[in-house]
Chain A
Amino acid sequence: MSSMRLTGYADKFGVHPGESIKFYVNCDGPSQYKAEIVQMINGDTNPRGPGFIEKPVPGSLEETVSGRKQIIHGGSYGFVPDCNALNVESFTLQCWVWPTTPITHPKYWKHGAQGLVTKWSDDVGYGLFINEKGHAEVRINGEKLESTTPLRDHAWHFLAATFDAKTGKLILIHEPQIEYALDPVIEPVEMTISGKLKNTSTPLAMAAYVDGVSEDPLAASSLPAGITFAGKYNGKLDTPRLCAKALSRAEIEMMKLGAQPGLTERRNSGPTGPLSEVIVGAWEFSEGISTLVATDFGPYRLDATLVNCPTRGLTGHNWSGTTFDWKQSPGEYGAIHFHDDDVDNARWDVDFEWTVPDDCKSRFYAAKLTTPEGDEDYIPFWVVPEIGDEQSKIAVMVPTISYMAYANEHVACNAGGAELFIYRVPIMQHQNMFLAEHREYGGSIYDTHTDGSGICLSSRLRPILSIRPKYDHFLAQAPWQYPADLHLIYWLETMGYEYDVFTDEDLTYDGLARIENYSVIITGSHPEHNTGTQLDALHNYTQRGGRIMYMGADAWYWVHSFHPAYDELGRGVMTEMRRCESGIRTWRADPGEYYHQGTGELGGMWRFRGRYLHSVAGVGMSSEGFDISSYFSRTPESNDDRVSWAFEGIEYDEMLGNFGLVGGGAAGLELDIVDTMLGSPPHTLTVATSAGRHTEAYLLVMEDFGFNQQGLDGTTHPRVRGDIAYHETPNGGACFAFSSIAFCGSLPWNNCDNNISKLVQNVLDRFAVPGPLPAAPADAIKYRGRADY
């Protein structure tokens, strides 16, 4: 099969007319490629639909670009630039570690020694490591001394190495925090080194070691540029200290306290006067958790720069289990979890730019890259109008945070196909095969890292191969997210609507100003991941008479925040999410690790922060299943005068959407229902439902029950259904919720001539008219309860 020789990304998702957008491309093989800008209309190659459609763009660039390979230096680490203080003769190096993969399979993608704290490269220097056998190891130049036993994974250990330049004595201490009954006693080990410690001019590294310094262009995307790191460590590192003397065991114990500056009667930065005279660095990762700096409290201020955004705000070796928010007791959160597949920014060089014409329509676009040999890649982006320069009364909210959450997802590979929930054998695409080999492209927030811990951060500054046309997702065996949302775009184009587009980032940063000039906001098929300010803006919009057409399901579900340390690189570069106490979770955060490192806010489901999903557009997720879809039937409430206009041209007993390009029907994948006990306004009308039609692959969401029991699937449980629903909001606003991820897949069917298309057209035509909607009939005005009508 062909490998993907072209991969790329842009510096932004949303770009305004008149601005330029930069593209970064890895061209691994071909000498050149053609770059052009196209408008994206339909991304689905299914022969039962309209097929893949793109359109030429006025003012597009058409360039032949020289190809060059660019690589991602994945894996997180910290570095401190070389300085005299770090170039010691004698030393004590100590830290706490919680390794997750001390021993790896010989075929593991980064099998080999892992650096902990190292000022070492190519047999020069010193450092603490975990060697390829899983033992703690101290290195001096080419000499190695290992502890007597491998480190236990997922457990805290205290490690210390001392070297006395006068005697040549090297000692390595390995003290597990937890000892079990049958554990052997681990005595310190020692040896004598004959030569002197030579120092290297490379940086001090945390969670890695310096592999080399190179002029090779491929090393330019490392940080610092030209210096590459190897031995990326998987696991937590806590409170490393470096002293320029071989300390006694008692002094080492004292040194665990760190530099301790700040007391007014003290005149030094050590736990004792003598220790203050030998401290080189004493790093406290509990400081600046929301930053990319590992702060040194020692006398030289040797702060480390963190690369590729390791996970912070995690419990340290001293976590007491009494505080669960790192902001309340940062000293118990002095651990950073490094992963060998973390990535925050590919850091590639720009290959070409495009300046968006001033009169460019706000639409879905992509940079299309091709070679004569058949290589191809698309780099999607969106042209978003400036606030005040809106081009239409209709706007599509592109769920880019959700795209980022699913970015480069590995579930088919990592989770044995996740077959128990997709209910078949998964189909992997080119993109999945490429990613299975190229873990440095990073995973999604659905994945676990290569060490098995959950991925809670996702960057858009890397090629995201799942945000591509012509890509069927294993979950659906059909388009999902980006290509699925193109079904909606194809429908808007075919039906002749004028519309703008904006992204989740735009709404997060701009608030109500971004949307208040539109009559109606149309969502994507699965806007699951949202920031708080985005939800605020949507609520404020509908409160003031705005209209929302919620075109999918399982939205407003997870708490996201953009990491503030990346703000200078643009909007929404790095999104963070924690999978906390409930919800559909492909991994589960550990105790005490529910708070975001970037903003400090509580993560998890919006529901458990008191923001019920159902309150945003009237419905909320109730079930999911990934085998096949079904259809909706109208309910008597669809005849209510408040909403009957939506069904003009549709008979009461028609099967609504028993066709489609996602699962074969409009009701499928993930489904939302009306629940006035969970935030649906009590005047919500359920106008159609798919009740009773789903397969046993569909299961009730776990946050809706407290007790495992039989009868939770689509063949038996009454809540396994989708409800199409309508409700009015104040000042002539309204929400229409279509409540199924598969829904948009029915829009293109039969050239958009079908009853789903008709229903959506009726709603959009009414919602798009500027000004308040017609008032509800007078007899609809009455006070309603939630549980009791």
Chain B
Amino acid sequence: MISIPPAGSPEREALIAEHKACVDSMKGVAGFSILKCETPGDTTVVSGGVHESPLLKRVLLRMRGESPAGKLIVVCTKVEAEWRIARLSGIRGVPPEFIDDKVYDCEQEIQHEIFLMRLDELPESAGMPEDYHEGWKRRSDNWPVT
């Protein structure tokens, strides 16, 4: 497993810059990926992002594979207008809770906000032996498929 580049490292800064460029280029697309649209908002030609940065690809896979409890998600609070960040409860019947009052007016930009938050939250050693807990024996380690 790759480790998450530590705060302040050049690798981390490069990831953040590439991620942001991809997010900005995806504005207007009825979908989303961490790839750069040659023409903003148009997926005819895409490049960069996860296709050309092995580290960015793997960091994102690690983040995406985290278990549901406490996982950050986006909630659309006003159709086509407002979005907020919430956390999944990980408990059936307990809905996600908003993390704060901040309202975003772009469904794509919020992806970058969550990326930054996850960089700070995911320990460098995530998924390594020092991270072991008994849940690994019963699928709670990293099993984000129903």
Contacts and interface: CB of A to CB of B under 8 A. Distances in A.
Interface of A: 1, 45-48, 105, 107-110, 341, 411-420, 423-430, 433, 436-437, 439, 446-448, 450, 470, 472, 476-478, 586-587, 626-631, 655, 658-665, 668, 695-697, 715, 745
B31 A416 contact: no
Contacts of A446: 146
Contact of B111 (A420, A425, A439, A664): A425
Given A417-B88, A664-B31, 19 more contacts: A107-B91, A415-B144, A416-B67, A416-B144, A417-B68, A417-B73, A419-B65, A424-B34, A425-B74, A425-B110, A425-B114, A436-B96, A437-B94, A476-B31, A586-B145, A628-B32, A658-B43, A660-B30, A695-B50
Interface residues of B, number: 52
30 contacts: A1-B84, A105-B91, A109-B93, A341-B92, A413-B95, A416-B67, A416-B68, A418-B146, A420-B144, A423-B33, A424-B33, A425-B114, A426-B73, A427-B74, A427-B107, A433-B96, A437-B93, A447-B146, A470-B79, A627-B32, A628-B29, A628-B43, A629-B43, A658-B42, A659-B42, A663-B31, A664-B29, A664-B31, A665-B44, A715-B51
A583 to B, nearest CB: 14
A662 B31 contact: yes
Interface in B11-49: 26, 28-35, 41-44, 46
Contacts, number: 176
B76 A430 contact: yes
A772 B56 CA distance: 56
Contact of B80 (A47, A428, A660): A47
Given A631-B44, A663-B30, A696 B75 contact: no
Contacts of A418: 144-146
Chain B interface main SS type: loop
B125 interface: no
A427 B31 CA distance: 11
Interface of B: 26, 28-35, 41-44, 46, 50-51, 57, 61, 63-68, 71-80, 83-84, 86, 88-89, 91-96, 107, 110-111, 114, 144-146
Contacts of A47: 80
B31 to A, nearest CB: 4
A450 B146 contact: no
A638 B45 CA distance: 24
A417 B51 contact: no
Contacts of B65: 419-420
A414 B76 contact: no
Chain A interface main SS type: loop
Contact of A472 (B41, B46, B76): B76
B74 A426 contact: yes
A411 B144 CA distance: 10
Given A110-B93, A419-B144, A447-B146, A1 B31 contact: no
B31 A628 contact: yes
B119 to A, nearest CB: 13
A45 B41 CA distance: 17
A337 to B, nearest CB: 16
A629 B111 CA distance: 18
Contacts of A627: 31-33, 35
Contacts of B66: 416
Contacts of A629: 31, 43
A447 B83 CA distance: 25
Contact of A413 (B28, B50, B64, B88): B88
Contacts of A45: 79-80
B80 A663 contact: no
A552 B31 CA distance: 18
A696 B51 contact: yes
Contact of A450 (B31, B33, B93, B107): B93
Given A48-B28, A420-B61, A439 B92 contact: yes
B91 A108 contact: yes
Contacts of A663: 29-31, 43
A412 B57 CA distance: 21
Contact of A628 (B33, B80, B144): B33
